[in-house]
Amino acid sequence: MKAETGAAATPATGGKAVAHSVAESSPGLRWLAGLVVVVYALVTMIPLVWILLTGFKTPQDSISYPPKVVFEPSLEGYVNLFTNRSRQTPEYMASLPPPETWYDKLVRSRNMVITGPSRFKDRYVNSVIIGFGSTFLAVFLGTLTAYAFSRFRVPLQDDLLFFILSTRMMPPIAVAIPIFLMFRELGLSDTHLGMILLYTAVNMSLSVWLLKGFMDEIPREYEEAAMVDGYTRLQAFFKVVLPQATTGIAATAIFCLIFAWNEYAFALLLTSGNAQTAPPFIPIIIGEGGLDWPAVAAGTTLFLLPVLIFTVMLRSHLLRGITFGAVRK
Amino acid sequence: MNPGPDRTVRAGASAPARPLARRVRGLSDRAVVWLFVTPTILVLLAINIFPLLWTIWLSFTNYRANRPNAEVEWVGLRNYERILNKEDIWEYLQATAHFLSWTMILQVIIGFGLALLINRQFRGHSFWTTVILLPMMLSPAVVGVFWTYLFQPQTGIFSYIVNVFVDVGPLDMIGSVDLAPWAIVMVDTWMWAPYVMLICLAGLRSIPDYVYEAAEVDGASAWRRFWSITVPMVLPFLMLAVLFRAIENFKMFDMVVELTSGGPGSTTELASINLKREAFEKWRTGYSSAFAVILFVTVFGAANVYVKAMNAVKRR
Confidence at A322, pLDDT banded by 50, 70, 90:
confident
- Which of A103, A118, A133 terminates a domain? The answer is A118
- Which of A62, A88, A118 terminates a domain? The answer is A118
Same domain, A18 and A92: yes
Interface residue of B2, B8, B20, B40 to substitute, partner A, most A CBs within 10 Å:
B40
CATH number of the domain bearing residue A172: 1.10.3720.10
Report the alpha-carbon angle A240-A246-A247, nearest 5: 135
CA distance B174 to B180: 5
Most confident of A80-89, A91-100, A134-143, B79-88: A134-143
Interface residue of A10, A13, A21, A22 to substitute, partner B, most B CBs within 10 Å:
A22
- The answer to whether residues A112 and A87 touch, using CB atoms and an 8 Å cutoff, is yes
Same domain, A145 and A175: yes
Confidence at A6, pLDDT banded by 50, 70, 90:
very low
Out of B3, B6, B55, the one facing A178 most closely (by C-beta) is: B55
The CA distances from residue A33 to A13, B118, B177, in Å, are 19, 7, 37
Instruction: Please give the tally of structural domains in chain A.
Output: 2
Asked if residue B80 has pLDDT above 90, the reply is: yes
**By CA distance, what is A153's nearest residue in B?**
B33
Interface residue of A13, A37, A48 to substitute, partner B, most B CBs within 10 Å:
A37
CA distance B221 to B232: 16
- Classify residue A152 by its DSSP letter: S
Same domain, A67 and A10: yes
Over residues B175-204, mean pLDDT: 94
Residue-wise pLDDT for B138-153, tens only, equals: 999 999 999 999 999 8
Distance of CA A151 to the CA centre of its chain: 31
Asked if residue A130 has pLDDT above 90, the reply is: yes
> Quick one: pLDDT at residue A25?
63
- Which of A118, A146, A161 terminates a domain? The answer is A118
Contact criterion met (CB < 8 Å) for A177 and B288: yes
Mean pLDDT lowest for which of A64-73, A255-264, B153-162, B273-282? A64-73
Domain assignment of residue A176, yes or no? yes
Same domain, A7 and A73: yes
CA distance B295 to B56: 12
Q: List Cβ neighbours of B306 (8 Å cut-off, separation of 6 or more).
A: B239, B243, B246
Residue-wise pLDDT for B213-256, tens only, equals: 898 888 888 889 899 899 999 999 999 999 999 999 999 999 99
Out of A10, A66, A149, the one facing B222 most closely (by C-beta) is: A10
Alpha helices in chain B (DSSP H): 3-13, 18-25, 29-44, 50-58, 78-85, 87-118, 125-133, 140-150, 157-165, 180-205, 209-217, 222-225, 231-250, 254-259, 271-280, 285-315
Same domain, A114 and A127: no
Contact criterion met (CB < 8 Å) for A264 and B139: yes
The Cα of A324 is separated from the nearest Cα of chain B by a number of Å equal to 10
Same domain, A102 and A124: no
> Quick one: pLDDT at residue A10?
35
CA distance A66 to A82: 29
> Quick one: pLDDT at residue A35?
94
> Quick one: pLDDT at residue A17?
38
Confidence at B21, pLDDT banded by 50, 70, 90:
very low
Domain assignment of residue A307, yes or no? no
Domain assignment of residue A317, yes or no? no
- Chain A stretch 24-43, residues whose beta carbon is closer than 8 A to a beta carbon of chain B: 24-25, 29-31, 33-34, 36-38, 40-41
Most confident of A131-140, B261-270, B301-310: A131-140
Q: Which domain holds residue A109?
A: 1-118
Domain assignment of residue A325, yes or no? no
**By CA distance, what is A241's nearest residue in B?**
B1
The Cα of A94 is separated from the nearest Cα of chain B by a number of Å equal to 35
Same domain, A197 and A274: yes
Q: What is the mean pLDDT of chain B?
A: 86
Asked if residue A14 has pLDDT above 70, the reply is: no
B30 half-sphere exposure, CB direction, 13 A CA radius: 1
Out of B119, B220, B299, the one facing A169 most closely (by C-beta) is: B299
Domain assignment of residue A14, yes or no? yes
Out of A46, A51, A329, the one facing B202 most closely (by C-beta) is: A329
- The answer to whether residues A94 and A61 touch, using CB atoms and an 8 Å cutoff, is no
Domain assignment of residue A235, yes or no? yes
Asked if residue A308 has pLDDT above 80, the reply is: yes
Instruction: State the count of interchain CB pairs (< 8 A) between A and B.
Output: 332
- Alpha-carbon dihedral angle through residues A265, A271, A276, A278, given to the nearest 10 degrees: 10
Mean pLDDT lowest for which of A41-45, A72-76, A196-200, A317-321? A317-321
Asked if residue B4 has pLDDT above 70, the reply is: no
Same domain, A103 and A201: no
Interface residue of A26, A170, A231, A252 to substitute, partner B, most B CBs within 10 Å:
A170
CA distance B130 to B154: 33
Domain assignment of residue A315, yes or no? no
Residue-wise pLDDT for A21-48, tens only, equals: 444 567 888 889 999 999 999 999 999 9
Confidence at A123, pLDDT banded by 50, 70, 90:
very high
The CA distances from residue B215 to A23, B32, B221, B236, B250, in Å, are 15, 52, 8, 21, 40
Same domain, A167 and A266: yes
Same domain, A163 and A104: no
Residue-wise pLDDT for B118-144, tens only, equals: 998 888 888 999 999 999 889 999 999
**By CA distance, what is A172's nearest residue in B?**
B251
Confidence at A266, pLDDT banded by 50, 70, 90:
very high
Same domain, A268 and A221: yes
Asked if residue A269 has pLDDT above 60, the reply is: yes
Domain assignment of residue A234, yes or no? yes
Residue from B119, B99, B123 nearest B111 by CA: B119
Same domain, A92 and A157: no
The Cα of B198 is separated from the nearest Cα of chain A by a number of Å equal to 7
Q: What is the mean pLDDT of chain A?
A: 85
pTM of the model: 0.86
User: Quick one: three-class SS letters along A61-94?
Assistant: HHCCCCCCCCCCCCCHHHHHHHEEEEECCHHHHH
